[in-house]
Amino acid sequence: MGSTYVACLSSCSVASPRRLHTRTHAVCFCNVFLQLPGVAPQDFESGDPVKIKVNKLSSPKNLPFDFYSLYPFCKPKGGVVSFHENLGEVLRGDRIENSVFEGKFRKDSHCTAACRSPGLSEADVKLWKQRVRDQYRVNMILDNLPVGQVRVKKVKVKDAETGKKTERVVRFYERGFPVGHVVDDDGGVVVFNHFVFKVLYHADETTQRVVGFEVEPYSVDSSMDGACDPKTGLRADALEGNRLQRITKGEAMTFTYDIVYVKSDITWSTRWESYLTMPTSKDVHWFSIVNSLMVLLFLTGMVAMIMLRTLRRDISAYNDLETAEEAAEETGWKLVHGDVFRPPKFAGWLAVCVGTGTQVLSMVVGSMVLSVMGVLSPANRGSLGTAGIFLFVFSGVFNGYASARAYKSFKMMQWKRTTTRAALAFPVLVSTVFLLLNFLVWGQRSSGAVPFWSLFALMFLWFGVSVPLTFVGSFVGYRKEAPEDPVRTNKIPRQVPETAWWNGWLTTVVMGGVLPFGAVFMELFFILSSLWQQQVYYLFGILTISYTIMAVTCAELAIVLVVRVDVRSIFARPDALNVSLVLRALLVRSFASTSNCAPRTTTSGGGVSWRAVAARCTCSATRYTSSSHAWISQASYRRCCTWDTCSS
Residues 277-305: tens digit of each pLDDT: 766 656 677 777 887 888 788 878 877 88
Q: Give the C-alpha distances (Å, rounded to integers) separating 564 from 302, 554, 570.
A: 11, 16, 7
Dihedral pair phi/psi, residue 592, rounded to 5°: -75, 155
The per-residue pLDDT for 424 is 93
Q: Give the C-alpha distances (Å, rounded to integers) separating 16 from 10, 19, 21, 23.
A: 11, 8, 12, 17
Which one-letter DSSP state was computed for residue 485? P
More confident residue, 636 or 200: 200
Mean pLDDT of 615-641: 36
Q: How many whole angstroms separate alpha carbon 586 and alpha carbon 577?
A: 16
Is 80 exceeded by the pLDDT of residue 15?
no
More confident residue, 378 or 481: 481
Helix (H, G, I), strand (E, B) or coil at 203: strand
The per-residue pLDDT for 613 is 39
Mean pLDDT of 160-168: 72
Mean pLDDT of 253-280: 86
Mean pLDDT of 317-343: 63
Dihedral pair phi/psi, residue 78, rounded to 5°: -80, 0
Is 90 exceeded by the pLDDT of residue 211?
yes
**pLDDT (tens digit per residue) in 570-579:** 333 333 323 4
Mean pLDDT of 625-638: 36
Beta bridge partners of 356: none
Q: How many whole angstroms separate alpha carbon 157 and alpha carbon 280?
A: 10
Helix (H, G, I), strand (E, B) or coil at 294: helix
Q: How many whole angstroms separate alpha carbon 443 and alpha carbon 272?
A: 36
Q: How confident is the model at residue 563 (pLDDT cuts 50, 70, 90)?
A: low
The per-residue pLDDT for 414 is 84
**pLDDT (tens digit per residue) in 342-401:** 888 888 899 999 999 999 999 999 998 988 887 887 778 888 889 999 999 999 999 999
Mean pLDDT (the chain) is 75
**pLDDT (tens digit per residue) in 412-469:** 888 889 999 999 999 999 999 999 999 999 988 888 888 888 899 999 999 999 999 9
Dihedral pair phi/psi, residue 226, rounded to 5°: 70, 20
pTM metric for this prediction:
0.72
Is 60 exceeded by the pLDDT of residue 581?
no
Neighbours of 607 (CB within 10 A): 16
Q: What are the residues whose beta carbons fall under 8 Å from the beta carbon of 71, sequence distance 6 or more?
A: 115, 255
Is 60 exceeded by the pLDDT of residue 52?
yes
Q: How many whole angstroms separate alpha carbon 263 and alpha carbon 203?
A: 7
For every residue of 18-75, which 3-state class applies, written as one string?
CCCCHHHHHHHHHHHHHCCCCCCCCCCCCCCEEECEEEEEECCCCCCECHHHCCHHHC
More confident residue, 153 or 446: 446
Asked whether the beta carbons of 380 and 7 are under 8 A apart, the reply is no
Q: Give the C-alpha distances (Å, rounded to integers) separating 578 from 331, 336, 410, 590.
A: 19, 14, 19, 19
Q: How many whole angstroms separate alpha carbon 135 and alpha carbon 285?
A: 28
The per-residue pLDDT for 18 is 32
Is 90 exceeded by the pLDDT of residue 485?
no
Mean pLDDT is lowest, of 281-295, 391-405, 475-489, 507-521, for 281-295
More confident residue, 157 or 620: 157
Q: Smallest Cα–Cα separation from 397: which of 477, 483, 480?
A: 477
Asked whether the beta carbons of 342 and 493 are under 8 A apart, the reply is yes
Asked whether the beta carbons of 607 and 633 are under 8 A apart, the reply is yes
Please report the beta strands in 423-479, taking only residues with DSSP state E, as ranges in sequence order. Answer: none
Q: What percent of the chain has a predicted confidence (pLDDT) above 90?
A: 29
The per-residue pLDDT for 569 is 35
The per-residue pLDDT for 422 is 93
Q: Smallest Cα–Cα separation from 390: which of 464, 296, 466?
A: 466
**pLDDT (tens digit per residue) in 95-129:** 899 999 999 999 999 889 899 998 889 999 999 99
Q: How confident is the model at residue 178 (pLDDT cuts 50, 70, 90)?
A: very high
Is 90 exceeded by the pLDDT of residue 261?
yes
One-letter amino acid at 322 equals E
Asked whether the beta carbons of 561 and 499 are under 8 A apart, the reply is no
Mean pLDDT of 510-519: 80
The per-residue pLDDT for 30 is 39
